[in-house]
Amino acid sequence: MSDNAVEDLIQILNLEKIEENLFRGHSPDASWQRVFGGQVIGQALVAAYRTVEDRVCHSLHAYFIRPGDPKVPIVYEVDRSRDGGSFTTRRVIAIQHGKQIFNLAASFQKPETGFEHQAKMPDVPMPEDLPTEIELRKEAMSQLPESIAKHFARPRPIEVRPVNPQKYINPEPMTSDNYVWFRARKPIEPGNYALHQCIMAYASDMTLLDTCIRPHGVSWISGKLQSASLDHAMWFHEPFKADEWILYAMDSPSASGGRGFNRGSLYTRDGRLVASVAQEGLIRYRA
């Protein structure tokens, strides 16, 4: 991505319509060996939104089936499963090289009111009191191979400030409790709530998979860890702005069978719980 990383992200989420219910998306030039999972989630949600009117996504459930190839476009096929009186359901299939790489089911609701309660936000430092992820990465970059250091230094659309980061080099076992503040680096169109949701969906795949390896004191930088998202579920509870600070409070209740399970709660800085996430990922370590 260029220095205008947020504008680049918005452009990546702005899918091309190629036929009714068919859309095409591209990956940034700076993609790593495979397409970032959050990008596919965000683009699939955009594709679903392009077939829905006057309703807001309240949940999505997705499976990663094959690694995405960043060198070729991704075709998104939307199935208009149901248009009901209160809820609308869509299924989206992402295709590359003639094969399904990802699928997503999303549900949209007509706004309404009802009972309200929520879990309390954890007591953590505010983002202004924390170093940026870039500052933390600079400490490790001199010890990394050039290819990884270059990847670390690239401009990113999402600003991240970890509360309790694990070391990149020679990490030690830590509790799985993982807290990160994040926000889009530049203002997002305020009246386009669907775009704010799609950007949060994109960001929700960042740092989440790392949560289940924290107790084991390992790092992907070693080259011995194989990790990948297997599935991803997200629930949107209340309105929010993706360009304002969001606390991502994560934990990992379980790891077994070469898989790690992760949970996340997303809070605005004033303590409103605006979304929840759950994900299972592949984690294999070869000593």
CA geometry: angle 208, 212, 216, nearest 5 deg:
140
Active site residue 204: no
In angstroms, the CA 130 to CA 128 distance is 6
Cα 247 to its chain centre, rounded Å, is 13
Active site residue 107: no
Cβ neighbors of 118 (< 8 A, separation 6 or more) are 237, 272, 273
Alpha-helix residue ranges (DSSP H) falling in the chain: 5-13, 37-49, 133-141, 146-153, 193-203
Question: Are 1 and 155 contacting, i.e. CB atoms less than 8 angstroms apart?
Answer: yes
Q: Provide φ and ψ at 161, rounded to 5°.
A: -130, 100
Cβ neighbors of 220 (< 8 A, separation 6 or more) are 227
- CA distances for 14 relative to 26, 50, 131, 196, angstroms: 9, 10, 32, 13
Cβ neighbors of 31 (< 8 A, separation 6 or more) are 70
Active site residue 251: no
Question: Are 219 and 225 contacting, i.e. CB atoms less than 8 angstroms apart?
Answer: yes
**Catalytic residue of the set 8, 205, 210, 243:** 205
**Catalytic residue of the set 176, 229, 252, 276:** 229
In angstroms, the CA 26 to CA 94 distance is 12
Catalytic residues: 205, 229, 279
